[in-house]
Amino acid sequence: MPTSRMQRVDFFGFDRVLARWGKTRQLRRGVSFLLLLEVRLLRVLIAIELVSFDVLVLASVVVMGLVEPDRMCGW
């Protein structure tokens, strides 16, 4: 096992828990990989949510400009 903290990835202590259970190193790597994949998917979902929110705001501004152009132009 690497002694440096930079060389080891330990998500929320799962590496230590699995080591206590006597699981293999390959299983610990698999759990770490799944956690990394989950974090990446969460980031993608957040990005999609932000983009969809921006599109919703833009669409509402366009509709407001079509419905009430006087208010949008400040006249």
Q: Is the pTM of this model over 0.75?
A: no
Residue 33's pLDDT is what?
77
**Which H helix or E strand runs over 61?**
helix 25-67
Residue 28's pLDDT is what?
63
Angle (CA) 47 64 53, round 5°: 10
Residue 10's pLDDT is what?
55
Sites in the chain below the pLDDT cut of 50: 1-2, 5-7
Q: What tokens appear for 69 in the block?
A: 């152009």
Residue 44's pLDDT is what?
85
